[in-house]
Chains A and B, each alone.
Chain A
């Protein structure tokens, strides 16, 4: 319940934050919303000697629309995402997912950056970013770079992020206006991580699926981009046989852990159901021509 002691820093600029990380190496952790890190610190599963609080850094805030893409500052809270009319219009998948993360208090604090950078396989946004083919903007001692979400995750808490780097923003290409998307998540209660969840983004051309991207949450030690599953839908009318193929491809890559949510076969099966339902909803939305 009580964390170990640490020195606290609240840098005013991104450069100052990077300097602190360089100075203290692996003794330092950044804190964004704090609702992943602080619970771990309270259980003494994490005990950084230096905490670098990002809350004052203007460069990490804000939602920018550059026409073809939106760029969301890493420190944007889940609630900010839910409240953004611009995002609700351009990429409704974000609001739909954010509303299923944790509870109202956590959503006030939890940030998009924290949710995607941590490498926690239970977090919801990584799969969504994969489905949207988002790009993470990162700054470090070596300068700035961009990393595709689909290539960012290597294992539980193991990501592309190098020591001393900070994720500064997430850039998401805007799907066509007529796209359909859905995030379907099964959980035991509000606040729980997913038993399994599926993010689907697809476009229809007439009665045919022109493109589809499917990604899964919490059924592996990272979020999983189910490339073959999406490919199985493209060119089809989203008929039952096509969806069944997509489900098979998706569950084929799922490797959920057995935990209190249930055994492996159950969680795999639920992953399939989540994909099925998400495809159904996304297809309906695309056809309805938002």
Chain B
């Protein structure tokens, strides 16, 4: 079973490579593109540590073949900060509210939170908890993660109001 030619946009840049079709997107990102932000945490598509944004959707990249992502656009945690290098407000709020400890779930969690706030810019606590239910964390007990996401939502809407 030979390799295929894949072409996709990753964090805003064009990428071309050869890969076996069975290569999981998470391995393609981590090993061929050296984007080691998203992580592997399980074998059964539960933990969400591998979460990326694929074609505008939160997706567990361990459950997608690179072949399926061919032609698409991927954003990983490495592409969440702004183009000028300033941190996304989610990244700032996770620090502000102690929403991480070992950091292993954090890339997937923030990447998911990013899409969650696109889906719902003003989520309640319950909506946030359901919104991140595909991302497991062993360290924080989620409470400060929820706080951080809510604070980011406030900041983003505050900025929007200021801009208007």
Contacts and interface: CB of A to CB of B under 8 A. Distances in A.
Q: In the complex, are there CB atoms of A and B closer than 8 Å?
A: yes
Interface of A: 1-8, 10, 31, 34-35, 38-39, 42-43, 49, 51, 53, 55, 79, 102-106, 108-109, 190-191
Interface stretch (B56-64, B87-95, B145-153): B56-64
18 contacts: A2-B24, A6-B1, A7-B21, A8-B21, A31-B68, A34-B64, A34-B65, A42-B44, A42-B62, A42-B63, A103-B134, A104-B132, A105-B51, A105-B57, A109-B59, A190-B130, A191-B46, A191-B133
Interface string B22-53: 10100000000000000010011110100100
Contacts of B51: 105
Given A42-B43, A108-B58, A108-B59, A53 B67 contact: yes
A106 B60 contact: yes
A4 B22 CA distance: 7
Contacts of A3: 22, 24
Contacts of B63: 34-35, 38-39, 42, 109
Contact of A104 (B62, B65, B70, B112): B112
Contact of B22 (A5, A10, A53, A105): A5
Nearest to B2: A7
B45 A104 contact: no
Contacts, number: 89
Interface in B79-131: 112, 116, 130-131
Interface centre among B22, B130, B132, B133 (most CB of A within 10 A): B22
Interface of B: 1, 4, 20-22, 24, 40, 43-46, 48, 51, 57-60, 62-65, 67-68, 70, 112, 116, 130-134
B21 A51 contact: yes
Nearest to A5: B1
Contacts of B21: 5-8, 51
A3 B24 CA distance: 9
B115 to A, nearest CB: 8
Given A38-B64, A109-B57, A109-B59, A104 B134 contact: yes
Contacts of A104: 58, 112, 116, 130-134
Given A7-B21, A8-B21, A34-B65, 6 more contacts: A6-B22, A35-B63, A39-B44, A49-B1, A104-B112, A105-B48
